[in-house]
Every structure is written in structure tokens, then in C-alpha cells.
Amino acid sequence: MAGATLARELGISLRSLYRDIATLQGEGVPISGEAGVGYVLGPGLTLPPLNFDAVVLGLRFVEKRLPEGLGDDARRALAKIEAVLPKGRSAADVHLLVGAPAAGSAAVLDQIREAIRKEDALKIAYRDKKGDASERTVWPIVGGFFDAAEMVAAWCEMRGDFRHFRLDRIERIALAGRPMERRHRVLLADWRLFRDSRDAG
């Protein structure tokens, strides 16, 4: 399939597609082809068997936490799974549920995902645990779901360092209208080193 066609179907830029293909090839996925020509997934790719309960729980999590976009995809995937299950088996048999997200967090997550995809900076109005408000420009890196809160890890221009922000404390969020000053993959690698150094300490 031509790269431009594949990128369009996936809803990503051609540059992102080339980067992702190179990553998959580096992991040993048998993809042949080249930029400007097209790509073919070759034989030999095997995936480990999936645990049915884990798959259903994961899809429920995405459906609940990201109600639009990925949530719609999760709902469709669950429906397709239901359609091919053997008689007497149902996703309803998986007695594991996911709690509702904090009010408004899905919209904030959508903005964060869009910024990461575009490698754009974000402007946020944030209120810390003491109640102090601040306006910040951040470069989002990754979102995370924890027991107590949903978070985003980002490079904070004001602090000149990595910071973690609770989504329920973000009062306003918008694209800053300019790109991050470092590529996302570089930021992600640096943040992992930062996180690992903190864990080791």
C-alpha cells in the first residue's frame, strides 16, 4: 500500500508514518518497501494469544475514559468481538468494570492527544494542590491513568523541567499555536531517564 494512502487511512502525517514504519521494522516486524513506493506486511509475524478478559477490560477502559474517537473505536471493537464469540460466551461474562473519569477529563485528554500527535505546545491554566493558579506553556509527552487521578507528563517552559499535571486541575487548555522545541520522541526518551532517575533515588 502506498505510504500516502496508509497515512490517510490511519489519520496521521506521512512523516509520522515513515517514523512508525522504521520503528516496527527495527522491532523485527516483516515490513518491506520504502518511502515513495509503498509497504507490504510480509509473512512470519506472530502474536501471542490474548487473554479474553484482559482484552475486554482494556476496551472498556478506553470506551469509558475516552468516550469519543478512541472510545468509539473501542465500542465497535467490542461489538465485533461479540459477533464472533462462540455460542454461550459473551463479553458480559467478564465481571471487571472501569470507573468513570473525572468530569471534563476526556475533552482535556483529546486536546493532549492532538498536541502530541501534532508535536505542538499547549497553553494551560493550572491550579496546584495548594490552590495556587498559574498559566503555563507545556510540551505534552504522555498521559497516564492512576488510581487517584489522570495525569499528563510534560516539559514545563516556566520551570524548565519535567512536570506532572493532574487533568482535573487543568482549568483551561488550548494549542499554543507553535511546535514543541524538541521532537516528541526525544522528549519521551529524556522523560523516561528523568523518571528512572527519580525512581532510583
- pLDDT in the model for residue 162: 96
* Domain match, 33 and 75 both: no
* Mean per-residue pLDDT, 96-111: 73
* Domain match, 84 and 149 both: no
99, part of any domain: no
131, part of any domain: yes
- pLDDT in the model for residue 99: 66
190, part of any domain: yes
- pLDDT in the model for residue 201: 60
* Domain match, 120 and 179 both: yes
> Which pLDDT band holds residue 190 (cuts at 50, 70, 90)?
very high
* Domain match, 71 and 114 both: no
Q: Percentage of the chain with pLDDT > 70?
A: 88
- pLDDT in the model for residue 157: 96
* Domain match, 139 and 77 both: no
* Domain match, 29 and 85 both: no
Region of residue 156 (left: phi > 0; alpha: psi -120 to 50; beta: else): beta
* Mean per-residue pLDDT, 65-94: 79
pLDDT in tens, 155-175: 999 999 999 999 999 999 999
Rounded to whole angstroms, what are the CA distances from 73 to 20, 119, 201? 21, 23, 40
pLDDT in tens, 129-138: 999 999 999 9
Please tell me the total count of domains within the chain.
3
**Spatial separation of the C-alpha atoms in residues 83 and 86, rounded to whole Å:** 9
**Spatial separation of the C-alpha atoms in residues 133 and 165, rounded to whole Å:** 13
**For the ranges 42-46, 136-140, 179-183, 197-201, which has the lowest average pLDDT?**
42-46
Domain that holds residue 28: 3-41
* Mean per-residue pLDDT, 87-115: 76
**Spatial separation of the C-alpha atoms in residues 119 and 196, rounded to whole Å:** 24
* Domain match, 117 and 77 both: no
* Domain match, 118 and 196 both: yes
> Which pLDDT band holds residue 46 (cuts at 50, 70, 90)?
low
* Domain match, 111 and 185 both: yes
With the C-alpha atoms ordered 154, 103, 77, 87, is the resulting torsion angle positive or negative? positive
- pLDDT in the model for residue 130: 94
pLDDT in tens, 8-34: 777 788 888 888 888 888 777 788 887
- pLDDT in the model for residue 32: 83
Check whether 80 has a pLDDT greater than 80: yes
> Which pLDDT band holds residue 96 (cuts at 50, 70, 90)?
low
